[in-house]
Chain A
Amino acid sequence: LAKTTQPISMDSYEGQEVNITCSHNNIATNDYITWYQQFPSQGPRFIIQGYKTKVTNEVASLFIPADRKSSTLSLPRVSLSDTAVYYCLVGDMRAAGNKLTFGGGTRVLVKP
Chain B
Amino acid sequence: EAQVTQNPRYLITVTGKKLTVTCSQNMNHEYMSWYRQDPGLGLRQIYYSMNVEVTDKGDVPEGYKVSRKEKRNFPLILESPSPNQTSLYFCASTLSPGTGYNEQFFGPGTRLTVL
Interface residues of A (CB under 8 A from B): 30, 32, 34, 36, 41-46, 49, 51, 87, 89, 91-94, 96-97, 99-105
Please report the total number of B residues contacting A with Cβ < 8 Å.
33
Q: Which B residues are in CB contact (< 8 Å) with A43?
A: 4, 90, 92, 106-109
How many A-B pairs fall under 8 Å by CB?
73
Main SS at interface, chain B: strand
Q: Are A49 and B90 also in contact (CB < 8 A) when A42-B109, A44-B106, A99-B59 are?
A: no
Contact B103 A46 (CB under 8 A): yes
Contact A99 B107 (CB under 8 A): no
Q: Which B residues are in CB contact (< 8 Å) with A103?
A: 42
| B74 at interface by CB-CB < 8 Å | no
A43 vs B94: C-alpha distance when bound (angstroms): 14
CB contact between B99 and one of A46, A89, A91, A94 (< 8 Å): that residue: A94
